[in-house]
Each structure stands twice: as C-alpha cells, then as structure tokens.
Amino acid sequence: MKILIKNIQELLQVRENPIDKVSGAEMAVLPKIDNAFLVLENETITDFGTMNNCPSEASFDTVIDAIGKAVLPTWVDSHTHIVYAGNRVQEFVDRINGLSYEEIANRGGGILNSAKKLNETSEDEIYEQSKARLEEVMQQGTGAVEIKSGYGLTVEGELKMLRVIKRLAENYPVKIKATFLGAHAFPLEYKENHSAYIDLIINEMLPKIAAENLADYIDAFLETGYFSIEETERIMEAGKQYGLTPKIHVNQFTAINGIEACVKHGALSVDHLEIVTDEDIAVLKDSITMPVALPSCSYFISIPYTPARKMMQAGLPLALATDFNPGTTPSGNMNFVVATACIKMKMTPEEAINAATINGAYAMGISDTHGSITKGKSASVIITKPLTSYYQLPYAFGTNLIEEVIINGNRI
C-alpha cells in the first residue's frame, strides 16, 4: 500500500536527521513544513517535502487531500496500565467524599482491589476488556504504547497480564512494549514480610517471565509506604540480570532520593515526578534517564503537577504519558494529556507535542522507529480536521480534532 497525503497545511515534527530526544530550550522548537506532502509506503515513511516537489498521484494506491489540516506523528504513550479487570468507580466517589489515596488503599482499595478482580477474571476476559481500551486509544491517535503488569501480584496473575499484553502486540499494528511491575504493591499476606515477596518476584516471577520472553522493562512503585529505595534496587538489579531495563514509578507523593537510585541503575525513565527537588534535577542532568510526567493523573486525583517549567529551564528533557489505569487515571487520551500539560503545567504547544512524540519514544526505547516524521520511521501519523493552527489541539481541549489515524501503514 502506497499512500500520498497532499496539501498538508502543517506537517509537524519533521526531523530530516534522526534524533533521540530534545531537552531544555530545544523542547520549544517544533520543526514543520507548511503546504507539504507525505509519502507512506507499506509500514514506512519514505518521502516528504513541500507541495512544489509533490510526486505524481498516478503511482499511489491512495491519495488523501489534507488541505487545511495538520499531520503529525502518532502519540507515543510510554506509561500505561491498560490491561486490567473491571473498574474502580466506587473509589472515584470515595475520593469525592473526602477519602485520600492512602485511606482508600488502607481499606483494601487501590492496587489491591484491582489485583483481587484480576485474579478472579479469566485471561480471555481480560484480553477482551483490554483490547477495547487499546482500540479506543488508537482512534485517539496513539500509535505506540507501553503497558505494565502489576495487578496480579501473584506468579500466575502477573504472567496472565503479560500474556495478554503479548496477545495485544501480536494482534494490533500499534507498537507495544511490556513492562513487568510485580513490585506495584505488597499483597496483604506479605504486608509484614516484604523480603519474602521480593524473593517471590526475583526467584519465581522473573525466571518464568524471561522463559516466555514476556517483558521488555521492569518497574517498581518506589514511594513512601510502598517499595523503599533498597527494595527497588534489589528489583532493578534482578531485572537487569534478565535483560530488563528499569522504568520506575517515583516521586508521586514524596521525594526520598529515589531518583538518584534510578539514575545510578541506568533507568530508561522515571515516571510521575509530581514532587521534584533541586537535588533530583541535579541528578537527572546529563543522565540517560528520561523524566516522564503524567498530568491527567494529577488532574484526576487532585495532586500537584510535575514542575515542567523548572525542569526544562534546568536543561532537562521531559516526556508526557497518560498513566491509563482503573484507579487514578481512567483515560488513555493523549490529546487531553497534551492539553493539560499546556493548561496546567504551562508547557507551550511545541514543548507538549515534543514531549508526547519524540521524547515519549525515547522513554519507550523506540526512538529509531517512532516519534517523528523521518524517512525510514514507522508510517504512523495523525491527520487532523481542518485547523487554523496546530495550537488548536491543546486549545480546544474538549473537542476531537482528529480526522484519521494511520498506524504502521494501517488506516484505523
């Protein structure tokens, strides 16, 4: 299939020379071509430029006229928990009635609530529920997505989740990376014996996951009341023995020097960062670790937003992701994430789009194939409805401005 998209008003995130990420002041620069064309051949971007150099339409299977529209790479969502069973709608109401995240968790809610439901649900049913969510985010413009386990908290439960993620990756054109998050919370039976649960993760879960090649990354909830720095370091070290690079939840509610430990262990990303200290920023400078902000989580549970401006002014890169999960962010809409980053975190549209594309790709380890309009990269693009400017994407935050999504050459 050879597709020509012509008369593009604004072709965004054009990178002639591939780059891994953008940092600091570079995040404010979003390269684009006005009055452009784009060629997608099978699964790959093969050409682009101004309409002055547009190839003849005769050699194409499909021609799309994008007059008045913007075209940009599909969103890269580098942090989700899309695979789960049921929902936690009652906890939503509990929070409205004044209960905190910690109080809900102490009553048997939160992650342990999701784990109970998941372990009671068949693998096929979890797959059916999860594929509906995946199809929804694809229609909303997401062309690559990281999905975590972490609602099993048992050997079989974690394997069940990871097998569902593998099935999704096999059955859909969207790029999927799997993260093993057995260290999401301590099951009740291990509440007083943390070491025994970590032994279970290291000695039983990890070997079975590796034997079936079910994960790309390893994660832990490094947070006061969850996994300590020392416990997380044990998990990161064990994961690396099986080729799993760390991507860690950290600094959601408290700053306990967890970021320093993650950087020391070569984490690809540190995610949440609602609380960030000057020391954390200093540690992240010149590291290989991508900070990832999850603004729709802050929106939904009314916690602080990641201090994006402070971090970028210090020269750091930043990625944006949804945190799609049943308890604290029941939405995988990256358009809302980009808008919320602009509205609540004071990121410019250029910064937010860079964070949701090229930097998101870095945080997923797929910079070589996704995140920009570059020859040889995946034929995964969003075609908007007619716009006066791409600034409308975050400005009209409640309006669906996507007309069509193409993922890996497939029109969705």
Sequential DSSP letters for 113-126? HHHHHHHTS-HHHH
Kind of pairing between the strands at 402-407 and 381-384? antiparallel
Q: What is the pLDDT of residue 71?
A: 98
Q: What is the pLDDT of residue 106?
A: 82
Residue 135 confidence (pLDDT): 98
Per-residue pLDDT tens for 8-32? 999 999 999 989 999 999 999 999 9
Measured CA to CA in angstroms, residue 30 lies from 104, 308, 309 at distances of 42, 17, 17
For 101-160, the pLDDT digits (tens) are 888 888 878 888 899 999 999 999 999 999 999 999 999 999 999 999 999 999 999 999
- What confidence tens digit (pLDDT) does each residue in 255-264 have? 899 999 999 9
pLDDT value, residue 146: 98
Top-confidence residue, 114 or 288 = 288
The least confident of 37-41, 108-112, 227-231, 362-366 is 108-112
Pairwise CA distance, residues 182 & 150, whole Å: 5
First to last CA, the chain: 14
- CA 319, 324, 329, 333 dihedral sign is positive
pLDDT of 102 reads 83
| Structure confidence by residue, pLDDT tens digits, 112-121 | 889 999 999 9
Contacts of 176 (CB under 8 A, 6+ apart): 144, 145, 146, 147, 165, 168, 169
pLDDT per position as a tens digit, 56-71: 999 999 999 999 999 9
Dihedral sign (CA 331, 103, 270, 220): negative
Give the tens place of pLDDT for each residue, 239-256.
999 999 999 999 899 889
Give residue 184's pLDDT. 96
The model's pTM is: 0.96
- 113-148 in b/e form (b: 16+ CB < 10 A) is bbbbbbeebeeeebbebbbebbeebbebbbbbbbbb
Q: What is the pLDDT of residue 251?
A: 84
Question: 105 versus 406: which is more confidently predicted?
Answer: 406
Confidence label for 76 from pLDDT (cuts 50, 70 and 90): very high
How confident is the prediction for the chain on average, in pLDDT?
Answer: 96
Mind listing the pLDDT tens digit for each residue in 78-89? 999 999 999 999
pLDDT in tens, 300-353: 999 999 999 999 999 999 999 999 999 999 999 999 999 999 999 999 999 999
Lowest mean pLDDT among 92-106, 154-168, 327-341, 390-404: 92-106
Angle at 76 between CA 73 and CA 82, to 5 degrees: 140
C-alpha 64/C-alpha 87 separation (Å) is: 39
Q: Look at residue 369 in the predicted model and tell me its pLDDT.
A: 98
Reported as type and span, the H/E element at residue 5 is strand 2-12
Q: Is the separation of the CB atoms in 266 and 287 below 8 Å?
A: no
Residue 148: strand pairing partners: 179
- Annotate 173-204 with b (16+ C-beta within 10 A) or e (fewer): bbbbbbbbbbbbbbbeebeeebeebbebbbee
What are the percentages of helix, strand and coil residues in the chain, rounded to 5?
A: 40, 25, 40
